[in-house]
Structure 1
């Protein structure tokens, strides 16, 4: 069987034709244009016309997603007009194929659990440290997703510091305001340093202020991981996103902090698939059902 895995991002939509063995037969992308649903439907119909052998369609997208209904409950202005879109219902009518939809962090976690860094784990959490803090939770092979508001496993919006830094979601002190690439930029500015997040880690050993900032960042990340362990008792944590690209420079600090916070040891590693995880994870929504 061949399926279409679709990864919807703020700047591009990626399409992959993938078979039961997760071999990729087509990998293409188009710019994200609006109205988004019209772009999505038109591009999918174009792919199906050329590849009628595609039997099902899986989609990963930014936003809060009601995965049972395949509906985008809420999306930020990164994807204007995308909130309240009945993606599954509309696409199934347009394509006469089964369609499944979930949050992009959830499908990335599925890819790592089925194929990547957590493939030998029964219970895993994937954290994406990028513009925000994304998260996906896999328990005994099933992704924790959906909910009446599509907000299950929105790890970035766990409250880390009550009355802390304001978050675009409307609350204060969300985890992603302290543990993300954007949070690192703010921390650096507040400390009066001139580094970028990338160069910050390069100066851990020669600048005490840089080291102190990294220790604060990894301490907050360790608290997030410890809190998740208390809820899910996972055996593996996979860390992806742009910040993970320099993990070899700060992972020792993270492990030191985890030693102070964890109830039990956890295997913590970096993501294996990164840019491909969204497309592969979207395909897995309809391959393993």
Structure 2
């Protein structure tokens, strides 16, 4: 990764030459960076600002503009949001204000970013794109890859032959009569004080269900608990290989930067 930090228009690299820009919008922080798409690495450091509260569309859009201006970036911008985005409209909202539901988010960010081209997608979908290209799924040119982000809930991204099937929301699927994220998220483990081995048993039940429906070739698991993957992956009993996410907290930004370039 470059050791240069770009903090102004007089020092920022121009768009092109494999560079793009991504912003990851979360419930507590909004993070952005210039991304070198040849390597999947940041050019300099990311810039983070606390998510405004309440996290309404207009307040978040102003914060996004501040981050872009911080870098002096002039090109297209990819953005992630914690919710389902269809045809540029957000139809669900997680950890942000419910006023996002029904908002034309691509129009919102085009307006706040003075008319430049934008692409907005679900945060787990963005992470899936990045992991497929640069992380745990980079060795698979063909086949079905499912990324799961294990945190407060279970986010998901489904990719077939490298193509994203958006807004999968597999964490909301019922498994043995219980919603998957209510029995196998990292939050459930913490709330119930399960050992990693006990929790891995519940996650295995969910993974086996996904295998029966989708016949994937690989699971990639992200979220903070993936840092302990060597302590719980050996306890999984499902058949399909499971690998930890490699990009960790950079994946959303990288995937957003990829998406806006691919959306030409």
From 156, 160, 166, give the equivalent of 2:175. Answer: 160
Equivalent residues in 2 for 1:90-169, closer than 5 Å = 90-94=108-112, 95-121=114-140, 122=142, 123-145=144-166, 152-162=167-177
Give the distance between the partners of 2:218 and 2:26, measured in 1 at CA.
26
Deviations 1:62-91 (A, max 9, x none): 12221xx22211113x21132222110222
Per-residue deviation, 1:43: 3.3
Partner residue, 1:174:
179
From 238, 247, 251, give the equivalent of 1:277. Answer: 251
Aligned residues: 239
Give the distance between the partners of 1:85 and 1:155, measured in 2 at CA.
23
Per-residue deviation, 1:220: 2.8
Per-residue deviation, 1:118: 0.6
Per-residue deviation, 1:231: 3.1
8 Å contact kept, 1:180–1:243: no
Give the distance between the partners of 1:11 and 1:175, measured in 2 at CA.
24
8 Å contact kept, 2:55–2:96: no
Give the distance between the partners of 2:148 and 2:206, measured in 1 at CA.
10
Give the distance between the partners of 1:133 and 1:230, measured in 2 at CA.
18
Partner residue, 1:82:
100
Partner residue, 1:43:
63
Q: Aligned-pair RMSD on alpha carbons?
A: 2.1
Equivalent residues in 2 for 1:49-64, closer than 5 Å = 49=69, 54-64=74-84
8 Å contact kept, 2:21–2:33: yes
8 Å contact kept, 1:59–1:282: yes
Give the distance between the partners of 1:50 and 1:271, measured in 2 at CA.
29
Equivalent residues in 2 for 1:247-262, closer than 5 Å = 247-254=229-236, 257-258=237-238, 262=239
* Partner SS, residue 54 of structure 1: coil
8 Å contact kept, 2:29–2:49: yes
Partner residue, 2:21:
4
Give the distance between the partners of 2:41 and 2:172, measured in 1 at CA.
35
Q: TM-score under structure 1 normalisation?
A: 0.75
* Partner SS, residue 45 of structure 1: helix
Q: TM-score under structure 2 normalisation?
A: 0.82
Tell me whether 1:65 sits opposite 2:85 in the alignment: yes
* Partner SS, residue 85 of structure 1: coil
8 Å contact kept, 2:90–2:103: yes
**In terms of Rg, which structure is larger?**
1
* Partner SS, residue 243 of structure 1: helix
Give the distance between the partners of 1:28 and 1:119, measured in 2 at CA.
27
8 Å contact kept, 2:233–2:242: no
Per-residue deviation, 1:106: 0.9
Give the distance between the partners of 1:50 and 1:251, measured in 2 at CA.
40
Give the distance between the partners of 2:48 and 2:131, measured in 1 at CA.
22
